[in-house]
Amino acid sequence: MSIYILGIESSCDDTSAAVIKERKILANLIANQDVHEKFGGVVPELASRAHQQNIIPVIDNALKKANIGKNQINAVAFTNGPGLLGSLLVGTSFAKSFALALGVPLISVNHMHAHILAHFIEDEGKDKHPPFPFLCLTVSGGHTQIVRVDSYYDMQVIGQTIDDAAGEAFDKAAKIMGLPYPGGPLVDKYSKDGNPDAFKFPHPKVPGLDYSFSGLKTSILYFLRDQLKRDPDFISLNISDLSASIQKNIVDILMRKVIEAVRQTGINHVALAGGVSANSGLRDAFMQKQRSGEWEVYIPPFEYCTDNAAMIAITGYFKYLRGDFASQSISPFTRYKE
């Protein structure tokens, strides 16, 4: 008998539901929230309310798309953290009630682990999964981590940001340039026509495998303030070169520590995960390592990079195999824990 898992993701500003049959995705639907755009960032209260509005229709549509009845579901997996409390509470409460009503196990999923385990989703045209142990650079709007992955259940953060996340660095740089939220994808888009060596920004000095991105924001801010004094049109005239230079800086910072992590651990199977893995500059830098034969590289399909419930469902599947179920009294956590 096949195992069907319903996955629910509501940690930030996307409400997503997915159904998997073993490792194969039958449905993976996402309701985005554009209500935040005019505020230049996610507004937690608005996010919770939008999740509340979206969650039932998204799950209903996912079950229809998967073409299964709710009584076929073997377990309900949901994001338990890290994330915004109000957002997490919506998914958690729904998952608990649904699992209880169906009489099936409840499975709690760590959002960051799920980004990594998205690599094991069985997808048409993709049969390359990383072997254990491997390293994973997990880069999102809220987190930047280098993780040593020894099994589906055993992961250790060996490096992380001490302030802003890489996605946050992209988004803040974009905001300074007057681009709408989330600016990361736009910086990527403008970079394509720009010269990455046009402007130089400093690299932070952080010991070990850790990162820092808050200094970059400050240096962009001061640089643009000075340039705008001389030419009020400086940003619009140089948007591509600015984007390409900022992107190069962020990618270089990310790559240096991953290169060091490979050297220290001797593990050269390296995966990319999280929303920022959609970035073309970062993908190119990884592919370059693949071409040179230094690393074996793993990059998930685009739709499994940014927040989605398919990654929650696959993580739920692995936990289901182990009988690792959550109690009905579980509550969400907001900050990362292993």
Tokens 């199977």 belong to 269
| DSSP letters for 71-98 | GG--EEEEEEESS-HHHHHHHHHHHHHH
Residues 6+ apart with CB under 8 A from 15: 9, 30, 31, 33, 50, 51, 54, 55, 58, 90, 91
List the one residue from 15, 140, 144, 191 that touches Zn ion (CB under 5 A).
Answer: 140
What 8-state DSSP symbol labels residue 277?
G
How far is residue 77's CA from residue 8's CA, in Å, rounded to a whole number? Answer: 6
Residue 125 and residue 285: Cα distance in Å, rounded? 22
Q: Interface with Zn ion includes 168 (CB under 5 A)?
A: no
170 is a site residue for ligand KG4 (CB under 6 A): yes
Q: How far apart are CA 12 and CA 300, in angstroms?
A: 21
Show contacts with ligand KG4 in window 294-333 (CB under 6 A).
306-307
Helices (H), the chain: 44-66, 85-102, 111-117, 166-176, 184-191, 214-230, 234-265, 280-291, 310-322
Fill in the per-residue mask, 95 to 134: x = in contact with Zn ion (CB under 5 A), - = not in contact. ----------------------------------------
CB atoms < 10 A from the CB of 321, how many?
A: 12
The site partner of 182 among Zn ion, ligand KG4, none (C-beta below 5 to 8 Å per kind) is ligand KG4
Q: Which is nearer to ligand KG4, 21 or 111 (CB)?
A: 111
122 Cα distance to chain centroid: 19
Site string for ligand KG4, 62-81 (x = CB under 6 A): --------------------
Neighbours of 154 (CB within 10 A): 11
Interface with ligand KG4 in residues 242-301 (CB under 6 A): 274-276, 278-279
Indicate the residue among 87 and 245 with the shorter CB distance to Zn ion.
Answer: 87
Stretch that binds ligand KG4, among 121-129, 166-174, 236-244, 313-321 (CB under 6 A): 166-174
Binding ligand KG4 (rule: CB under 6 A), the pick from 12, 62, 224, 262 is 12
Nearest to 266 by CA among 156, 154, 136, 133: 133
Binding site partner of 306, from Zn ion, ligand KG4, none, Cβ cut-off 5-8 A by kind = ligand KG4
Q: Which of these segments, 83-91, 95-103, 163-171, 304-312, binds Zn ion (CB under 5 A)?
A: 304-312
Smaller CB separation from ligand KG4, 184 or 316: 184
From candidates 28, 140, 245, 249, binder to ligand KG4 by CB under 6 A = 140
Q: What are phi and psi of 296, to 5 degrees?
A: -100, 120
CA distance 320 to 139: 26
Total of chain residues touching ligand KG4, rule CB under 6 A: 18
CA dist list (Å): 317 to 65, 238, 258: 19, 48, 29
Nearest distance in Å: CB 70, ligand KG4: 28
Least separation in angstroms between residue 114's CB and Zn ion is 8
Please report whether residue 159 would count as binding ligand KG4 according to CB under 6 A.
no
If one asks whether residue 184 binds ligand KG4 (CB under 6 A), the answer comes out as yes
C-alpha span between 200 and 207 (Å, rounded): 22
Q: How far is the CB of 291 from ligand KG4 (least distance, A)?
A: 21
Question: What 3-state DSSP class applies to 219?
Answer: helix
Residue with the shortest CB distance to ligand KG4? 275
Instruction: Give the angle 84-87-93 at the CA atoms, nearest 5°.
Output: 125
| Minimum CB distance to ligand KG4, residue 231 (Å) | 27
* Span near ligand KG4 by CB under 6 A; candidates 68-76, 135-143, 198-206, 207-215: 135-143
Which spans of this chain sit near ligand KG4 (rule: CB under 6 A)? 12, 140-142, 167, 170-171, 182, 184-185, 188, 274-276, 278-279, 306-307
Which spans of this chain sit near Zn ion (rule: CB under 5 A)? 140, 307
